[in-house]
Amino acid sequence: MRMRGLHRHSSLAIAVLVLMAWATTVVANPKERLEYWRQNYPELLSTEDPRAAQAHAIFHRLLHTAGQKPGVMPRLYITRSDPWNISAPFALPDGGIILSKGALDICYHEPARGDDRLAFVLAHELAHQFKDDFWHMKFFQAIEASKVQSPQPTADLEEILRMARLTDDVQAKELYADKYGILYASMAGFNTNAIVTEDNTVNFFQDWVRALDPSRIRGVRTDRSHPSPQQRAEAIKAHLRQILDKMEVFNVGLWFYRAGDYQKAILAFEDFLQFFPSREVYHNLATSHHQLALQYYQLWKQDAWALPFKLSLAIDPMARAGKIALRGGDGTAKPAELFHTHLDKAIEFYRTAISLDPTYALAYSNLGCALMMQEDWYKAIATLQDALKIVPNFPQALNNLGVAFFYAENSRQAKAHLTRASELAPTYGAPLFNLGQLAHDAHQEAEAQRYWLAYLQLDPGSPWADRVRQKVPQALSPPQMASAVPQTPEAVMGVAVAAFADEVPASWGKPRMSQLTLEAQPFKIARYPSVVMTLSRHDEIVMITVLDGYKGKSAKGIALGSSAQEVLTHYGRPAQILEMTQGESWVYAAQGIAFQLRDHQVVTSWQLF
């Protein structure tokens, strides 16, 4: 026993010496910078492999959700060959993420699940980077250093490999990155069931871990004591199951938000925040409080048009307030008090989101809106200018900044920013409405009518359009909107909201069940293999969501992949457009349906409520 212990300590000393040798050159080591890889490993271009272009698109989607560390700009570089003969992606201290063609081959072995699996792999590496954890890089450099001393594999090298695979520290780092990889990928809209499922029909980890096993390094013997890929996959499955179950709470928060039930959305986001305090969750919590503040503002002012300008939180507080019972904590608070309470919380949470990611332009834009509601015009201007430093051509921030300048009594700057917003996004109606309001306040009625008539062409069916018609008598009569004609009831494969859970047909398959409690009310979430999810209370279905991969259509023929124009043609203008980190949610309150759009297409899901 003593001899074995001495041998282990001796091997450990060898491993430490190798890592120390690496550490003495860490400052000057060029391999820790992306430029080294650009110069020494040819890039896999999208012209050679379309998966490369898809990888960069997935990477940018993940960054919108995960954010970035101050002073570090994550960048993806895809190599044609595998560094060190291993298909492992790894993170660099300067923000680089190195991915190889071999890693793409593993992820896209089943093409239908390739995007989702690659999203997890890239999110896993982002998690390492955000944690300043570059153990993969150090480990492979230690191997390289040992080979320089002895070109042939040695027992010492194999001992380094074995210890790296078995150390508790490495296992903890990998579990951490697995957890956040699942979270980032799921919050960016990817199907994380493509990683591992309860019924063992999907176990991507087995292929992935097998491909990345260090024993694949040329000449190194397999370590029989090391857990097999199947064993690691089984060990991690329970951990990932907990994460995925918790993600359902976040998704329920999004469902309630899209349905206009901001109070329940707040409860769900607060619950999820205890598990994952990220910028995305704080931002969604802030916007939910912000929406409630606006509704209480309307009740307080008792004026349908208390908000004279159309701000770009993408809110329309008049549209849903009539269907929702607004209330205070003890039932005695007045609307003015509740307005200030929720607005203060929104500002607090926006600022927390920004502190977690100072490059989060959307949070700056929404914070600027909230500060205007506090009549703090100059802070609002400064905040919106910060958003434009991050994204110079951000139409929503430009629109909000134009309104802020108007309130700060700088009409020239107000008009310049609103005009710029309209030029950048010709189909974006808010700047045209606000330019009309600006001209109206300046008693330039002909100009006001010109802007408002142009606005009506873009947004003929919203309450803001009704406001325009009140001020422009010669405006065209409102077209017959989809909401004004008999509606076809919305259902998913024959099941509608208000059905009972036992009415779901057996053809949907056996669901995976989870539950949560909001305001002492129990809710059940059922995820069916037919890529449908339901939310029920007391066994009555209150929401139905179709997921990525669903092949059916809505009552008016919209499917996943349909264009924004098709949605407009069949459903008319939405009652609300909610800006989300990953695109927009078009809410049709009268029909009880919301579509999720990104890049002018229906993506990921739609929802019945």
CATH architecture for the domain at 501-608? 3-Layer(aba) Sandwich (3.40)
Q: Please report which confidence band the pLDDT of residue 44 belongs to, taking 50, 70 and 90 as the band edges.
A: very high
The highest-confidence range among 78-87, 305-314, 537-546, by mean pLDDT, is 537-546
Both ends of the chain: CA-CA distance in Å?
67
Question: Averaged over 457-486, what is the pLDDT?
Answer: 65
Question: Averaged over 46-52, what is the pLDDT?
Answer: 93
Q: Residues 576, 577, 581, 582: what is their CA dihedral angle, to the nearest 10 degrees?
A: 120
Which comes out higher in pLDDT, residue 477 or 537?
Answer: 537
Residue type at 103?
Answer: A
Residue 583 confidence (pLDDT) above 70: yes
- The helix/strand/coil state of 594 is strand
Residue 29 confidence (pLDDT) above 90: no
Tokens 């929802």, located at residue = 607
Helix/strand/coil (H/E/C) assignment for every residue in 153-173: CCHHHHHHHHHHHHCHHHHHH
- Calculate the average pLDDT of the chain: 78
Predicted pLDDT at 142:
53
CA distance 130 to 481: 48
Here the tokens at position 127 are 């998690």
Q: Among candidates 286, 353, 278, 242, which has minimal Cα distance to 123?
A: 278
Asked whether 260 and 322 are in contact (CB, 8 A), the reply is: no
CA distance 119 to 124: 8
Residue 154 confidence (pLDDT) above 60: no
Which comes out higher in pLDDT, residue 307 or 236?
Answer: 307
Q: What angle do CA 539, 541, 547 make, to 5 degrees?
A: 130
CA distance 382 to 368: 8
CA distance 129 to 109: 26
> 96-100 and 75-79 as β-strands: parallel, antiparallel, unpaired?
parallel
The 10s digit of each residue's pLDDT in 165-182 is 545 566 667 777 877 888
Q: If you count them, how many residues does the chain have?
A: 609
Handedness of CA 124, 126, 132, 136 (dihedral sign): positive
List Cβ<8 Å contacts ≥24 apart for 465-473: 467/305, 468/433, 468/436, 471/440
Residue boundaries of the structural domains of the chain: 11-247, 260-479, 501-608
Question: Averaged over 335-344, what is the pLDDT?
Answer: 93
The 10s digit of each residue's pLDDT in 591-604 is 899 998 887 889 87
Q: Among candidates 290, 255, 317, which has minimal Cα distance to 593?
A: 255
Predicted pLDDT at 220:
47
Handedness of CA 399, 403, 406, 408 (dihedral sign): negative
Asked whether 444 and 456 are in contact (CB, 8 A), the reply is: no
| CA 559 to chain centroid | 22
- The helix/strand/coil state of 515 is strand
The 10s digit of each residue's pLDDT in 1-20 is 433 343 333 333 334 433 44
Predicted pLDDT at 239:
64
The percent of residues in the chain predicted with pLDDT above 70, rounded, is 73
CA distance 173 to 180: 11
CA distance 461 to 479: 8
Which residues share a beta bridge with 540?
500, 537
Predicted pLDDT at 585:
85
CA distance 301 to 422: 30
The 10s digit of each residue's pLDDT in 68-89 is 666 678 899 999 988 766 667 8
> 593-598 and 601-608 as β-strands: parallel, antiparallel, unpaired?
antiparallel
> 90-91 and 512-518 as β-strands: parallel, antiparallel, unpaired?
unpaired
Predicted pLDDT at 82:
80
Here the tokens at position 594 are 């919301």
Asked whether 311 and 292 are in contact (CB, 8 A), the reply is: no
Asked whether 431 and 402 are in contact (CB, 8 A), the reply is: yes
Question: Averaged over 449-475, what is the pLDDT?
Answer: 81
| CA 215 to chain centroid | 36
Structure letter (DSSP) for residue 85: G
Write phi, then psi, for 98 (nearest 5 degrees): -95, 125
CATH: 1.10.240.10, 1.25.40.10, 3.40.50.1860, 2.60.40.420. Which one for 260-479? 1.25.40.10
CA distance 282 to 277: 7
Question: Averaged over 190-219, what is the pLDDT?
Answer: 61
Q: Among candidates 194, 61, 184, which has minimal Cα distance to 123?
A: 184
Asked whether 352 and 333 are in contact (CB, 8 A), the reply is: no
The 10s digit of each residue's pLDDT in 231-252 is 655 656 666 667 767 788 888 9
Residue 316 confidence (pLDDT) above 50: no
Question: Averaged over 277-297, what is the pLDDT?
Answer: 89
Q: Please report which confidence band the pLDDT of residue 344 belongs to, taking 50, 70 and 90 as the band edges.
A: very high
Asked whether 296 and 326 are in contact (CB, 8 A), the reply is: yes
CA distances from residue 545 to 129, 405, 572, 594, 604 in whole angstroms, order as listed: 34, 41, 21, 9, 10
Q: Inter-axis angle of helices 204-212 and 229-258, to 10 degrees?
A: 130
Characterize 305-322 residue by residue with b for buried, 16 or more Cβ atoms within 10 angstroms of its Cβ, and e for exposed: eebebbbbbbbbbbbbbe
Q: Where are the alpha helices (DSSP H) in 259-394?
A: 262-273, 279-301, 317-321, 335-356, 361-373, 377-390
Task: State which H helix or E strand residue 449 sits in.
Answer: helix 445-458
Which residues are CB-contacts of 477 (< 8 A; sequence separation ≥ 6)?
none
Q: Which of 124-133, 415-424, 588-597 has the lowest mean pLDDT?
A: 124-133
> 540-546 and 601-608 as β-strands: parallel, antiparallel, unpaired?
antiparallel
CA distance 240 to 232: 12
